[in-house]
Amino acid sequence: MNMNLDGCEVLVTGGTGSFGQAFVADALARWPGLRRLVVFSRDELKQSEMARTYPASRYPALRFFIGDIRDRDRVRRALEGIDIVVHSAALKQVPAAEYNPTEFIKTNIIGAENLVEACIDTGVRRVVALSTDKASAPVNLYGATKLCSDKLFVAANNFRGSRDLRFSVVRYGNVLGSRGSVVPYFLEQAKSGVLPITDPAMTRFSIALPDCVEMVAWVIGNALGGEIFVAKCPSYRVVDVAEAIGPGCRREIVGIRAGEKIHEDMISTGDSPYTLDLERCFAIVPTGGAIGIDDYARAWSARPVPGNFTYNSGRNPVFLSVEAIRALIRRHVDPAFEPR
């Protein structure tokens, strides 16, 4: 399958979230010949707001379907006639996961299982599930549920039978400006003149939302099935984000929250023997399947990463400067942004 989805029917779980809305906007512009683009989510208010933004008279392919991925029957109903699924529905807040673990398990793990089973039962051909850096060597409940989710989608390729169906995963770092992330939080806190810093050494991977969408679009057309595609992202130091947003603000060290790391991994050393460098991204390929790592390498003209390779936000060779962070905030979050 190439990346021209004109004539296809696509469903986006979590379609009213930050990624979902960005993907919908991009898909409508990129593939004007889409037969159907379904927004699947449980938020009726956001669906009604999106429907006003994209009126049916101008966007006849767009559909809105209220449902929860915890409900297997509803998920299966939503997938009738669907060719491609982009799975972005999840519960994501780390502190909330530590306090409400069962809720995260129901959505992030059981919901993923429901989607896998429903895709196999219907005519879906491609599934791309979104992951997170917190799923690599997880230390919090959210990361652990996303690791389980990743494993479910990778393993689903083993029992798809003779179906033309491929499951793959896309893993990336913190999305710049997404809800609950550090940039909007610091922008709001800077008004008080005080910025809380968890740890002066803390680093994170950073990616802009359009880059997430672009990577998913590429994976839809190029995945062989079973891979975890890992975005190549710059890192930032949290203290540099504070300097970029509030150079005149007082900084208060508050300590890391439950379940947080000082640095994040997207590829652990344990994954390095199964990881390929595709230039635009990395790919962790499955083991023991019908396709071996050499086959994946030939398909993409890729090379294995060095032994004991790790992709860690603190040892990343590319870091954002203070000025680069400010430029990204103006481009992707607030065009009128000025440091305080």
Is 207 a residue whose pLDDT tops 50?
yes
Q: What is the pLDDT of residue 1?
A: 46
In angstroms, the Cα distances linking 14 to 27, 56, 66, 208, 313 are 15, 20, 10, 18, 27
Average pLDDT on 293-298 reads 92
Amino acid at 25: A
In tens, the pLDDT along 215-264 reads 999 999 999 999 999 999 999 999 999 999 999 999 999 998 888 899 99
Average pLDDT on 155-179 reads 91
Q: What is the pLDDT of residue 178?
A: 82
pLDDT band for position 194 (cuts 50, 70, 90):
very high
Q: Is the dihedral of CA 68, 71, 73, 79 positive or negative?
A: positive
Is 12 a residue whose pLDDT tops 90?
yes
156: nearest Cα among 186, 183, 129? 129
Mean pLDDT of the chain: 94
pTM over cut 0.75 = yes
Q: What is the DSSP letter of 133?
A: G
Q: What is the pLDDT of residue 262?
A: 95
Q: What is the pLDDT of residue 288?
A: 76
Q: What is the pLDDT of residue 290?
A: 72
Encoded tokens for 247: 């150079």
Which stretches within 196-292 are classed as H helix?
Answer: 209-222, 238-245
Domains, the chain, ordered by start: 9-173+209-232+267-311 (3.40.50.720)
Q: What is the pLDDT of residue 2?
A: 52
Average pLDDT on 2-29 reads 93
State yes or no: is 261 an active-site residue.
no
**Cα distance between residue 7 and residue 218, in whole Å:** 18
Q: What is the pLDDT of residue 257?
A: 83
High-pLDDT (> 70) share of the chain, %: 99
**Cα distance between residue 285 and residue 283, in whole Å:** 6
Q: What is the pLDDT of residue 56?
A: 94
From the candidates 134, 146, 232, 261, give the one annotated as an active-site residue.
134
Encoded tokens for 311: 């992709």
Average pLDDT on 297-303 reads 93
112: nearest Cα among 135, 144, 145? 145
